[in-house]
Amino acid sequence: MEVEIRPVVISDLAIESLGNIYIYGLETFSYSSATVFVEELYVRLNQLSSEYLHHPICRFIPTKTGMYRNLQHGRYLVIYRIKPERIEVLNIIHSSRSPSKIKAARKIKV
């Protein structure tokens, strides 16, 4: 079975989260560590166009169709929604956050 390639769209909130992750990496680790981490994350986000079904259904946002999924990158969860025409990256959340923060991703508009 061949998977349909869909464009990946990133929400404004996810872009803001990426910036915050990068700044945190700069302050806590180093320029090179922060840069490598975020670059690897961008690569994985782009791979979602064809690998969106490879990641588990998000257990915090259950649906009958399994349209909400999460990709784990380090200690971060990338919450995304599968739509018929595209993949919507809703937010990037540290895994230590409360489940209510993850559930709130359902309401994000892209």
User: 47-87: per-residue pLDDT in tens?
Assistant: 999 999 999 999 989 899 999 999 999 999 999 999 999 99
What is the model's pLDDT at position 78?
Answer: 96
**Residue 11 and residue 27: Cα distance in Å, rounded?**
25
What is the model's pLDDT at position 1?
Answer: 60
Pick the residue with more confidence: 88 or 105?
A: 88
In 3D, which of 89, 102, 92, 91 has the Cα closest to residue 47? 89
Cα pseudo-dihedral 15, 47, 106, 16, rounded to 10: -10
Residue range 33-45: mean pLDDT, rounded: 96
Helix axes 31-51, 12-28, angle to 10 degrees: 150
Residue range 33-42: mean pLDDT, rounded: 96
Residue range 24-33: mean pLDDT, rounded: 95
Q: Quick one: tokens of 51?
A: 């690998």
